[in-house]
Amino acid sequence: MKKLRKLISGISAAASSAMIAVTANAEGTLASSKAVTGTKALLADMSNVLLVVAPLVGTACIIYFAVRHGAADEMDQKKWKQRIIVAAVSIVVAVVASALINVLVSYYK
């Protein structure tokens, strides 16, 4: 019985010291890990690329759709007009998403 008590007290002492060590190192280890810093950098880079590429591609699509709208007959003009609207809304959504990602990433710096 004494051996069992001694074993239990030794295990609890080791567990509590391990918990203290994990708690003390949790902030620095996780925040400075390569996975976290790499993910933050990846999100920031992707957000910057999205902020530049989305308006360029969207504007090119709108120009193409406008040319096709001008050359289309009455039935097809409705489709091309709808595509122009979808492209414009997509540009706005992409820019807002990029800004939101930048804001979220900035909280982790």
- Domain shared by 55 and 96, yes or no: yes
E strands, the chain, are none
Number of domains in the chain: 2
- Domain with 67, as residue range(s), is 34-109
> Same domain, yes or no, for 18 and 38?
no
The verdict on 26 and 74 lying in the same domain is no
Same domain, 46 and 61: yes
Write out pLDDT tens, residues 36-74: 788 888 888 888 899 999 999 999 999 999 999 999 998
Q: Model's pTM, two decimal places?
A: 0.65
The pLDDT of residue 105 is 84
pLDDT (0 to 100) of residue 107: 80
Amino acid at residue number 64: Y
Q: Encoding tokens for residue 46?
A: 């992707």
Report which of 61, 58, 60 is spatially closest to residue 95, judged by C-alpha positions: 58
Assess whether 99 and 63 both reside in one domain.
yes
Q: Residue 68 contacts by C-beta under 8 Å, 6 or more apart in sequence?
A: 76, 80
